[in-house]
Structure 1
Amino acid sequence: MSSRFRVSRRQFLASSAAGAAALTLPGRAAFAQSFPDHNINITIPTGEGGGADRDVRLITQIWKKYLNTDFEFGYYPGAAGQVGYEFFMKREPDGYNLLFANMGPEVIMLTLQNVGIQLGKDLVYINQTSSEPMSVFVGKRSKFQSLQELVDEGKKRAITCSVSRLPHPASIGMLALGEATGANFNLVPFGGGNPSAMAAITGEVDCCALPFANPITLGSEVRILGVFSDKNPAPDQSGDAPTVNSVFGTKLPELTSSRGFAVQAAAMEKFPDRIETIKKTCAQVLADPDYVEAVQKAGLPKEFIDPGDQQKAMSTAEATRELAEKYRALLTGK
């Protein structure tokens, strides 16, 4: 052995003691435990300017109070979210890469499409930030004044209904409504909430089905005909729109979508402390009055804020997966 690598026992003990002492110094300890020490990247599997983009920016503008860092956003729409998920899984699993998920449609996508990403094994939803039911609405100049009128027309001809993507709780709602009433709904995917809503406003389609926040933020430009929920959570902001089941006496399941953050399972294994920091500080954001105020200023009901931990988020995902399997034939035609 070369003398360069020969260390006496006394030298080893001395250097070990010095190293241990150095780690107890406040500055050195802070350096060793510093997270995050650079920007956090957030992958969004939809286009810029959509509902997920709006929501994640509302969160991150408050999150800076609790995490001393900046956030960078990347948008990867395509294949009902598959493009974004596949891109995210290739990112470094180090806690600096997060995915902001629209769990409803994206769990349906993972269930129905051959993506090769398993929830729990490959990817984990670590929290839940909001939840909202699905809704059906028309433009303000539409001849349809009620959901009953829309369904009656659907018994005579095919009603065109814009949706952001086919694998979506709103799609399940319209197909299940057609199955229950005998109405014929032809779903037309427009690749995002904004173009889907605009198609209804301009009359390009007869109606639109999207998460409830979309027509609420459009205000007088649209008329909300129904909500796929047991109860309308925002009657004052929706013209007291009825629930679909109350109109037809049906027993359609509640169709909601939750948003939240996800990480690669490998990140949880390698850097559990970092992921716990993400969870803890995000929970602080959702309880912050400044965040509630920001949500309301964006024209959204504060009732849509729905904080949940990893267990709740994964339970929500599992319930959606079961729903996708139940309506697989309607969604895929197989």
Structure 2
Amino acid sequence: MKRLQFALAVFSLAVSVSASAQNFPNKLIKIVVPFGAGGVADLTVRMVAQEMAQSMKQPIIIENRPGAGGIVAANSVASATPDGYTLLLMSNGTAVSANLFKLKLPYDTLADFVPISTLGYFDLAILVNKNLPVKTVAELIGYAKANPGKLSIGTINRGSTQNLAAELFTSMAGIDALIVPYKGSPEVLTATTTGEVNASVEILSPALPQIKAGGFNAIAVTSAKRFVGLPNVPTVAESGLPNYQATSWNALAAPAGTPRPVIDRINKEVKAALAKPEIKARLLALGIVAQGGTPESTKQLLAADIAKWGDVITKAKILQQ
């Protein structure tokens, strides 16, 4: 009898979930963002969410829950009802956090989420103080080798994408450089301009105005392709380190167990929003290349970054408590 009751309960739940998926969405959707309001990631998801809300005729709210390397936000979504009404703004930072902390995370980054689609890719750049006598990546590497231990590279806090990109660069280039962590991007850019550090690795978005104003030199971008907004700036890969690539990205994800029809509907809406020329242009102005993906390709991206940055974290010995 107990087995029959259990089977009936499971069947009833399955029918309920199926019906709910067919009617999706029929109420407010919440997207939890592991960053503060006003940042580039927050602005990106708000642009896309606004378009999705209009198309789906349901309100979408953004809940900013920064802290603990994104763990607080991610954990709140991992434990949410898997019905598509609570989503996570996932990023390469989510992949980094999977290996960054000595303590075990309260969720499994790959098993407890269903990635839905990427939203955009954020290029990083290697920036150089104008008084440093280098104009290319090859010259920067040459300078570092000629002056062991004297090259300083600014990034934001240890374990950030910028910081790991710098660690990866020095490792692959075989140079001895001092990587200096700062509290935030404004401090990094100021230090690069004043010469407090010789160079820096920073996301393009906050750096673009000063790059265009000539405050410092952008000698390379870290992505696989040149950034369309700076067509004359080469990639690190084409500048002497052919296998180097470091890209920041963000994506939407749902709790594991969310019905596939719901995932597919959200994926469709994300891609439709990103395809709009005005959205592409607004994101490009922020240094973001709008690009959606399939749930499968987004999960592959997440898994690849977990492996890649885990290796960098181990080699750089920057595990955190």
TM-score using structure 1 length: 0.74
- CA gap of 1:89–1:201, structure 2 versus 1, over 3 A, is farther
Amino acid at match of 1:240: N
Matching residue within 82, 88, 94 for 1:106: 94
Aligned to 1:154: 144
- CA gap of 1:311–1:84, structure 2 versus 1, over 3 A, is same
Secondary structure, counterpart of 1:126 in structure 2: strand
Gaps spanning 5+ residues in structure 2: where? 1-18
Amino acid at match of 2:267: K
Asked if 1 retains the 8 angstrom alpha-carbon contact of 2:45 and 2:89, the reply is yes
Superposition deviation, residue 192 in structure 1: 4.5
Aligned to 1:178: 170
Asked if 1 retains the 8 angstrom alpha-carbon contact of 2:204 and 2:287, the reply is no
Aligned to 1:263: 254
Secondary structure, counterpart of 1:224 in structure 2: strand
What is the CA deviation profile of residues 265-305 of structure 1, one whole-angstrom value per residue up to 9, with x for unaligned ones? Answer: 14x15xx5443332221121112233223334x3446xx12
Q: Does 1:55 align with 2:44?
A: yes
User: Relative to structure 2, which stretch is displaced further, 59-68 or 166-175?
Assistant: 166-175
Q: Does 1:322 align with 2:313?
A: no
What is the CA deviation profile of residues 94-142 of structure 1, one whole-angstrom value per residue up to 9, with x for unaligned ones? Answer: 422211122x232021133232422342112111121244321145x55
- Superposed CA RMSD: 3.1
Q: Hey, what's the Cα distance between the residues in 2 that align with 1:144 and 1:116?
A: 48
Aligned to 1:163: 155
Q: Does 1:207 align with 2:196?
A: no
Q: Does 1:128 align with 2:113?
A: no
Q: Does 1:253 align with 2:244?
A: yes
Secondary structure, counterpart of 2:252 in structure 1: strand
- CA gap of 1:108–1:305, structure 2 versus 1, over 3 A, is same
Q: Which has the higher contact order (CA 8 A, sep 6+)?
A: 2
Asked if 1 retains the 8 angstrom alpha-carbon contact of 2:99 and 2:313, the reply is no
Q: Hey, what's the Cα distance between the residues in 2 that align with 1:226 and 1:101?
A: 26
Aligned to 1:244: 236
Matching residue within 95, 102, 107 for 1:117: 107
Q: Hey, what's the Cα distance between the residues in 2 that align with 1:329 and 1:273?
A: 39
User: Relative to structure 2, which stretch is displaced further, 169-178 or 253-262?
Assistant: 169-178
Secondary structure, counterpart of 1:65 in structure 2: helix
Amino acid at match of 2:31: I
Q: Between Structure 1 and Structure 2, whose CA radius of gyration is higher? A: 1
Aligned residue pair count: 293
User: Relative to structure 2, which stretch is displaced further, 49-58 or 184-193?
Assistant: 184-193
Asked if 2 retains the 8 angstrom alpha-carbon contact of 1:167 and 1:331, the reply is no
Superposition deviation, residue 184 in structure 1: 2.8
Q: Hey, what's the Cα distance between the residues in 2 that align with 1:69 and 1:222?
A: 45
Runs (4+) of structure 1 exceeding 6 A deviation are none
Secondary structure, counterpart of 2:291 in structure 1: strand
Matching residue within 19, 27, 35 for 2:25: 35
- CA gap of 1:75–1:186, structure 2 versus 1, over 3 A, is farther
- CA gap of 1:204–1:60, structure 2 versus 1, over 3 A, is farther
- Aligned residues with identical type, % of pairs: 20
Q: Hey, what's the Cα distance between the residues in 1 that align with 2:304 and 2:209?
A: 27
- CA gap of 1:273–1:177, structure 2 versus 1, over 3 A, is closer
Gaps spanning 5+ residues in structure 1: where? 1-28
Asked if 2 retains the 8 angstrom alpha-carbon contact of 1:46 and 1:192, the reply is no
Aligned to 1:279: 267
Q: Hey, what's the Cα distance between the residues in 1 that align with 2:164 and 2:220?
A: 14
Amino acid at match of 1:37: K
- CA gap of 1:299–1:171, structure 2 versus 1, over 3 A, is closer
